[in-house]
Amino acid sequence: MDAENLHYFEKAPISKAVAHFAVPMMLGMAMSVIYSILNAYFLGTLHNTPMLTALALTLPLYAIIMALGSLMGMGSGTFISRLLGEKKYDDVKHVSAFAFYGSLLLGLIVMAVGLPLIDPIVRALGATSDSFGFTKDYVLVMLIGSPFVVLFFTLENLVRSEGAAMTSMIGMILSVTVNIALDALVIFVFHWSVIGVASATVVSNLVASLFYAFHIGAKSRFLTVSVKWFKATKEILSNVFKIGVPVFVMSVFLGAMSLILNHFLIEYGDRAAAAYGLSSRLLQFPEFILMGLSEGVVPLIAFSFTANRLRMKRTIGFTVKTIAVLAAAFGVIVYLTSDNLIGLFTNDPRLIEMGSYILNVTFLSLFISGATALFTGIFQATGQGTAAFVMSVIQGVTLIPVLYIANHLHGFHGVVWSLVIADAVAFAVGGIMLIALRGKLQPDLENLVH
C-alpha cells in the first residue's frame, strides 16, 4: 500500500476518503452497465425480438459465473483490507495468491460441468423454440470463457482491497472499451449476432484480467499472483468463505430470481420477457452506481473496523446520505423519460409500453435497494458472516412466495410489483440486524446507523 492510499484509509476527510474509494468504483460499474445496455442496443439494431429475449434469459447464468468471482474476490478482498489495518502484510500475500488460483479453478469447474449439460441449461433458462438457438449460442461461449470471467471479478476486488481504486476503475473501463469495440465489430462487420456479443464479453474480461495481473505483479507492494505464496490454511479458508459464500449465495439468488421472473413473464409472451430484460438493464445503471458506492467503501469500512471505529461510523453515515440524494435524482430522470429510454432499443410500441411500465415500478425501490447493498457491505467488511448470509437469501426467500401469490391475484402486474415488495423486506431485515449488531460493531459508541 503506498502512502497516498494509506492517507485515504487513515487521515483524509470522510467525504474525500469516500470519494477516493467509491467514485472510481461507481464510474467503473456505470461503464459496465453501459456496455450491458449497448449489448442490447447492438442486437436491437437487428430488430429481432428472440435475440433480445435470449440476451435476457442468459442473465442468470452470467450472474452465477460472476458470483464465483465475487465469492473469491469479495471474500478475499475484505479479509485483505482487515489484515492491512492490522499490518499483517505477509498474510495479505498468501490470501491474494489463494484468490488468484482459486478463481481459475472455479472457472474451470464451471466449464467442465456446464458444457456436457448445455441443452438442459438452456431449457432451464426458459428458452422458447424461437429463442432456443440464440440462447444456446450465448451459453456456449459463456461456459467456455467462464475462467476469465471469474478471474476478472476476483482480481478487481483484490486490487480495490488495498486501496488502488483508480487502478480498479481503469481495469473496468478497459473491459468496457474492449467490449464496445468488439460488439460493433461482430455485429456490423462479421454479423455474428448473439454469439458475437457473448464472445466480446469474454474477451473483454480476459484483457482486463491481464491488466490486473500485471498491476499486481509489477506495482503492488503487498498483493501477489506468485504461486510460491499460495497457501490454503484453515484461517484463510474460514475468513474468505464466511464472507465469500454469502456473496455467492446472494448472486445465485439474484440469478435464480431473474430465472424465476423469466419463467413467469414468458407466460405473457416473448415481449414481456424482452421488456423485463431491457428495463432491468436500464435499472442496472442507477443500481450499479449505488452498488458501486456501497461496495467502493467496503475496504474503507473494513480497514477502519480494525483501526478506527469512529471513522467507520462517520463513513457509514455519509454514505447513507449520498445514496438518498442519488436515488432521488435518478428517480426524477426515469419518470420523465421512461418511454424514450425503452424506445432506444426497439420500435415495437407494445414492447415500449411494457418496458416503460416495468421500469417505473421497479424504480420505486431504488433507495432501499441501495441502502440494502450498504447494509450487506457493512456486514461483509466487519466479518459478520451470519448477517451477511441472511442478507444473501432474504430477498430470494421473500420473492418466491410473493411471486406466486401476486401472479395468481394480479397477473402480469403482480409479477412486476413483487420485485418492489422483496426489496422492501430485505431493507427492513438488514436495518433490524444492523441495529441488533450495533453494540458488537461499535461498542464504544451509540447509534451506529444515525
pLDDT, tens digit (0-9, with 9 covering 90-100), for 35-88: 666 777 777 777 777 777 777 778 778 878 888 888 888 888 888 888 887 888
pLDDT at 152: 93
Band (pLDDT 50/70/90 cuts) for residue 22 is confident
* Angle at which helices 49-57 and 132-144 cross, to 10°: 40
Residue count of the chain, please give it.
450
Confidence bin at 5 (pLDDT 50/70/90): low
446 part of a folded domain: no
pLDDT at 386 over 50: yes
Whether 447 is in a domain gets the answer no
DSSP 3-state of 445? coil
DSSP letter assigned to residue 446: S
Say whether pLDDT at 441 is over 70: no
Give the per-residue pLDDT at 444. 45
User: What pLDDT, on a 0 to 100 scale, did the predictor assign at position 446?
Assistant: 43
- 446 or 414, greater pLDDT: 414
- The pLDDT value recorded for residue 390 is 86
The lowest-confidence range among 202-216, 343-357, 371-385 is 343-357
Q: Is residue 256 part of a domain?
A: yes
Q: Considering the domain boundaries, does residue 223 fall inside one?
A: yes
For range 294-309, the mean pLDDT: 83
What sign for the dihedral angle of Cα 113, 119, 122, 126? negative
For the segment 195-228, what is each residue's pLDDT rounded down to a tens digit? 888 898 899 999 999 999 999 988 888 898 888 8
Phi, psi of 412 (to 5 degrees): -55, -45
In a domain, 240, yes or no: yes
What percentage of the chain carries pLDDT values higher than 70? Answer: 94
* Sign for the pseudo-dihedral over CA of 71, 75, 77, 78: positive
Q: How confident is the model at residue 440 (pLDDT cuts 50, 70, 90)?
A: low
Q: What is the mean pLDDT of residues 132-145?
A: 90
293 within a domain of the structure (yes/no): yes
Residue by residue, DSSP assigns 34-50 as HHHHHHHHHHHTTT-HH
Residue 247 is predicted with a pLDDT of: 74
Inside any domain, residue 375 = yes
Q: Averaged over 174-195, what is the pLDDT?
A: 85
Answer positive or negative: Cα dihedral of 111, 116, 121, 122.
Answer: positive
Ranking 165-174, 209-218, 284-293, 338-347 by mean pLDDT, the lowest is 338-347
Question: In whole angstroms, what is the distance from residue 271 CA to residue 32 CA?
Answer: 25
Average pLDDT, the chain: 83
Overall domain count for the chain:
1
Q: In terms of pLDDT, which residue wins out, 258 or 1? A: 258
pTM over 0.75? The answer is no
Identify the band that residue 101 occupies on the pLDDT scale cut at 50, 70 and 90: very high
Which residues span the domain enclosing 77?
A: 3-441
H helices then E strands: how many in the chain? 18, 0
For residue 99, the model assigns a pLDDT of 92
Say yes or no to pLDDT of 140 above 90: yes
Specify if 403 maps to a domain.
yes
Q: What is the mean pLDDT of residues 1-22?
A: 78
Whether pLDDT at 271 is above 80:
no
